[in-house]
Amino acid sequence: MRALLLALALALAVCCSLAACGSEAPEGTADRFEDVAWRPLPTGEVQRIAFGSCAHQWAPQPIWATVVATKPDLYLSLGDAIYGDWDGKQVVPFSEASMTAGWRMLADHPDFTQLRAAVPVMATWDNHDYGKHDGGAEFEHRALARRMFLDFFGEPLDSPRRRRPGVHDARIFGPEGRRVQVILLDTRSFKGPTRRDPRTKAEKQAAGLSGSMGRYVPNMDASTTLLGEAQWSWFEQQLAQPADLRLICSSTQVIPDQKGMDEWGNYPRDRMRLFKLLESAEVRGVLLLSGNVHFGELSGLKRDAYPLLEFTASGLTHINGDYAQFHNPYRMAGPVGKVHFGLVEVDWAREGGPRVRLRAIGEAGETLLTHEVPLRTLGG
Ligand SMILES: [Fe+2]
């Protein structure tokens, strides 16, 4: 009996010590998702790249069957792969247990399992798989969130990516003349303070701003950054690598800057820095890919000859019609107001030079947006 009481007391003490240290489970007891298998990344030429964002892990996700049916060489997860800080009704305070539960639900999701089995995946995060709504560098649990994210997506323990403070990543696929570079930016780990829009709710409503729209105004502070200096330096190194098509991926929108949502427009210095960097003559073949906004669209920023294009695909399980209807002066196609993913297809062998076709595809395989351009017009 005494031994039993001692064992109970010991168990209680262990529980209390775990509770005292909050979300941090002791090393070795956490779910490292070692059972979650992924397809290896392509070793040769790629022609079809699918991408998407924003999926409620508790919801049916029939769109993955459609993604798989398009036979992409690669799928890019551009954020909100899970909603770890929200359960569909209310905010869930960050904890290792709640985030792990979210990732585990996605790992075992019968629809998502189809994608994992068939298509290699590269991923970056947005706020909800980071663990804090609109979160940035101030988020105290970001190191733990990063470890869980990299564990889930099967990043090898000895990968250089594990030694970087963010989750940004880059790869080049294919032979010379057909090289596709994928650059995944991290718009969370280094994101500086935002500035709140001072207007009242009524004033915002009168301006057509609802929900997450009208939350922020540009932060002109010279010390504020979105990517952080270390990531900028890494990014410039990636752009110095030779490539024929560069898919520069950001969880948040880069060109559209009118909604006052969590977007590059809140960081005008970083946004201009990006545009100037991409204007450089050596940086060719650029296509921006983004998500986050719960609708899809194609935006273009006017340049000398051809616009810089940004293809946004957001809403694998849900859509926001109000956001979709809000004016975007840069919009070239869309909005897409149905659940969808984006598909970038490159016809490398086309007579007259390679062509790039962009499509937003709905759950039933229907094309919701399409745009095709010669690769040579995708300047920096
Ligand atoms: Fe989202």
- Tell me the CA–centroid distance for residue 196 and ligand 1, in Å: 20
- Tell me the CA–centroid distance for residue 251 and ligand 1, in Å: 9
- Tell me the CA–centroid distance for residue 222 and ligand 1, in Å: 29
CA distance 8 to 228: 49
How many other β-carbons are positioned within 10 Å of the β-carbon of residue 5? Answer: 9
Residues with CB under 5 A from ligand 1 (ion): 54, 80
| pLDDT average, residue stretch 316-340 | 97
44 has a pLDDT exceeding 60: yes
CA distance 51 to 79: 10
Residue 30: pLDDT band (50, 70, 90) is: confident
- Tell me the CA–centroid distance for residue 244 and ligand 1, in Å: 30
235 has a pLDDT exceeding 80: yes
CB 291 within 8 A of CB 173: no
> What domains sit in the chain, N to C, each tagged with a CATH number?
52-377 (3.60.21.70)
| CA-angle at 373, arms to 371 and 377, nearest 5° | 140
6 has a pLDDT exceeding 90: no
CA distance 167 to 86: 22
Residue 306: pLDDT band (50, 70, 90) is: confident
CA distance 134 to 86: 12
Provide CB contacts within 8 A for 187, sequence distance 6+. Answer: 124, 126, 226, 227, 250, 251, 252, 264
Higher-pLDDT residue of 79 and 18 is: 79
- Tell me the CA–centroid distance for residue 217 and ligand 1, in Å: 20
Tokens of 120: 């290699």
The pLDDT of residue 25: 45
| pLDDT average, residue stretch 356-377 | 98
- DSSP H or E run through 13: helix 2-20
- Tell me the CA–centroid distance for residue 316 and ligand 1, in Å: 9
Q: What b/e string do you get for 97-134 counting C-beta neighbours within 10 Å, with b at 16 or more?
A: ebbbbbbbebbebebbbbbbebbbbbbbbbbbbbbbeb
Higher-pLDDT residue of 29 and 376 is: 376
| pLDDT average, residue stretch 205-222 | 94
Quick: pLDDT tens for 286-305: 999 999 999 999 999 987 77
- Tell me the CA–centroid distance for residue 53 and ligand 1, in Å: 7
In the chain, the percentage of residues whose pLDDT exceeds 90 is: 88
In the chain, the percentage of residues whose pLDDT exceeds 70 is: 92
- Tell me the CA–centroid distance for residue 169 and ligand 1, in Å: 21
175 has a pLDDT exceeding 90: yes
Residue 325: pLDDT band (50, 70, 90) is: very high
- Tell me the CA–centroid distance for residue 126 and ligand 1, in Å: 8
- Tell me the CA–centroid distance for residue 350 and ligand 1, in Å: 36
The average confidence (pLDDT) of the chain is 92
- Tell me the CA–centroid distance for residue 44 and ligand 1, in Å: 32
Quick: pLDDT tens for 252-275: 999 999 999 999 999 999 999 999
Residue type, 216: Y
- Tell me the CA–centroid distance for residue 16 and ligand 1, in Å: 35
- Tell me the CA–centroid distance for residue 313 and ligand 1, in Å: 11
Collapse the DSSP code of 106 into the 3-class scheme (helix H, G, I; strand E, B; otherwise coil) and give the result: helix
Residue 22: pLDDT band (50, 70, 90) is: very low
| pLDDT average, residue stretch 237-241 | 96
